[in-house]
Structure 1
Amino acid sequence: MKVRVEVFGRSKSESEFVVSPEETVQDLMRRLNIAPDAVVVFRNGEPVPVDEGLSEGDVLTFIEAASGG
Structure 2
Amino acid sequence: MRILILPGKREAEKRFSGKAEELVREMGMKPDEVIVLRNGKPIPIDECVSDNDEITLLRVSSGG
Q: Same fold (TM over 0.5)?
A: yes
TM-score band, normalised by shorter chain: 0.7 to 0.9
Q: Which has the larger radius of gyration?
A: 1
Tell me how large the CA RMSD over aligned residues is: 1.6
Q: TM-score normalized by structure 2?
A: 0.83
Q: CA deviation at 1:41?
A: 1.2
Give the corresponding residue for 1:24.
19
Give 5+ residue unaligned stretches, structure 1: none
Moved over 3 A (4+): 66-69
What's the % identity of the aligned pairs?
38
Give 5+ residue unaligned stretches, structure 2: none
**Equivalent residues, number:** 64
